[in-house]
Each structure stands twice: as structure tokens, then as C-alpha cells.
């Protein structure tokens, strides 16, 4: 009996340490990636509580979005759950690392429609592949590749010579173009998700309409047979 109690305590300690490390890691990623942080603003404002259920292995984790970052709990906080995410552990891992469309489609989300849309869009951006791409394209990463000791009155790196001025103008133009591309990619993802959702609803409506027509035809045929006989 004591061995079992010690085993449970050890498992609880390991779980707590894992959640603390994962919580710190996710909070760092969320705060360091401007696009994901912007997409999560409404969730943070609502302090949304999301329950994540995985299978193979079976785990339950409660995620709270706060201004301090992401909070993870093994036990449900004393408040209403805003949304429930259900998926296999493999799909959750794939979704976090590379967010393939096939894995994201298999992830089920229950909750208000607006919250589901926000979580879907956030998952498409908040993954290691996208975050690393954002880091590589950021100004601070480019400054590491081309270090400059001096800055101008706007805080932008400068150096002497005509070549440095043309380089700064080119980098500024590239940054503006990259920002525009990122915004267009995000809008495209949102539009594709809305189109897929509308397509799914249309298929459901067509199926319901077909069933209603079959029922009406069957009823009409039955009525005609009744009166003819």
C-alpha cells in the first residue's frame, strides 16, 4: 500500500514538473511571436479556459489564456470551461510542430462558434514551424546576421557610406513586403477555413433537403396509392 502511495506521489510530482516546464515554454513562444500573440488577444482578454483531451495515451489538461501567458493545470479550475479540444496525442504533437492540415482537421473543438474559429486560426499559426519562420524573418534576427554598432534618431541601425544606406532601404522594403505577405497568408488561412466551413454546412443542407424531398415524394406516392385503391 505504501509502495502504491509513493508511486502515485512520484507520478504527481513528475506531472507537475512537466506542466510547469511546458507552461513556461508555451508562454515564451506566445510572447515572442507577435502574430500568435495578436491572434490570441481575444482569448487572453476573455481569459478563456480550454480543456484538452487526448487519447493514446489518455490525458486531460486545462489551459487558461491570461495576460501573463498560458497557464496549465491537471485539475479543472473552479470556473466554466469555454471550449473542449479532443484529439489523439499524435495529432496534437503533429499540430504543434508542423500543423499539417490533415492533423488539424482531425482535432475536434466543442464550444461557441466564435471561440472555435479563433482557436482554429490560432492553431494554424501557433506551431514551431510557423514561429521559427517568423523569428527568421524578424528584424532582430536580421540584425544578428548584419550587426551594426550605431543607431540613428529613430533607433534604426546605421553605418557610414552609401552602401549602408542602400542596404537599410532595401531591408526596410523587404520587411514591409514580408509583413504584407504574412498578413495576406493569415487572411488566406482565415478565408480558406470559412470557405471549408460553409462548404460543410452546404453539404449538410443539401443532404437534409434531399431527405425532405424523399420523404415528401414517399408521402405523395402513398397518398396517391391510398386514393386510387
**97 in the same domain as 27:** yes
d(C-alpha 21, C-alpha 19), whole Å: 6
Domain range holding 100? 2-111
Report yes or no on 8 lying in a domain: yes
Are residues 208 and 152 part of one domain? yes
What per-residue confidence (pLDDT) applies to 2?
Answer: 52
Report how far apart, in Å, the C-alpha atoms of 218 and of each of 40, 214, 222, 225, 229 are.
51, 6, 6, 11, 16
pLDDT of residue 218: 80
Q: Do 78 and 42 have their domain in common?
A: yes
Output the CA–CA distances (angstroms, integers) from residue 11 to 18, 117, 148, in the order listed: 10, 35, 50
Query: Which CATH number covers residue 98?
Result: 3.30.1050.10
Q: Is residue 151 very low, low, confident or very high in pLDDT (cuts 50, 70, 90)? A: very low
Indicate whether 123 belongs to any domain.
no
Check whether residue 90 and residue 180 sit in a common domain: no
Q: Dump pLDDT digits (tens) for 176-221.
A: 777 777 777 777 777 777 787 787 888 888 888 888 888 888 878 7
Last residue of a domain, one of 68, 93, 111: 111
pTM attached to this predicted model:
0.60
Q: Which neighbouring-strand residues pair with 110?
A: 84
**Residue 36 near residue 125 (C-beta atoms within 8 A):** yes
pLDDT band at residue 145 under the 50/70/90 scheme: low
Amino acid at each position: 500500500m505504501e509502495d502504491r502511495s509513493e508511486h502515485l506521489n512520484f507520478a504527481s510530482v513528475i506531472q507537475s514538473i512537466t506542466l510547469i516546464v511546458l507552461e513556461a515554454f508555451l508562454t515564451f513562444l506566445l510572447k515572442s511571436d507577435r502574430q500568435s500573440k495578436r491572434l490570441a488577444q481575444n482569448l487572453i482578454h476573455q481569459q478563456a479556459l480550454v480543456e484538452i483531451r487526448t487519447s493514446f495515451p489518455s490525458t486531460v489538461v486545462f489551459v487558461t489564456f491570461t495576460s501573463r501567458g498560458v497557464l496549465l493545470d491537471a485539475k479543472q479550475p473552479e470556473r466554466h470551461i469555454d471550449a473542449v479540444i479532443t484529439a489523439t496525442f499524435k495529432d496534437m504533437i503533429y499540430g504543434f510542430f508542423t500543423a499539417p492540415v490533415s492533423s488539424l482537421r482531425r482535432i475536434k473543438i466543442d464550444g461557441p462558434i466564435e471561440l472555435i474559429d479563433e482557436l482554429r486560426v490560432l492553431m494554424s499559426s501557433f506551431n514551431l514551424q510557423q514561429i521559427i519562420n517568423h523569428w527568421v524573418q524578424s528584424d532582430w534576427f536580421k540584425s544578428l546576421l548584419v550587426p551594426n554598432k550605431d543607431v540613428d534618431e529613430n533607433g534604426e541601425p546605421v553605418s557610414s557610406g552609401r552602401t549602408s544606406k542602400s542596404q537599410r532601404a532595401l531591408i526596410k522594403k523587404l520587411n514591409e513586403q514580408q509583413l504584407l505577405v504574412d498578413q495576406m497568408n493569415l487572411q488566406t488561412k482565415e478565408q480558406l477555413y470559412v470557405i471549408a466551413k460553409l462548404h460543410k454546412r452546404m453539404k449538410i443542407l443539401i443532404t437534409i433537403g434531399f431527405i425532405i424531398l424523399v420523404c415528401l415524394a414517399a408521402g405523395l406516392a402513398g397518398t396517391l396509392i391510398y386514393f386510387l385503391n
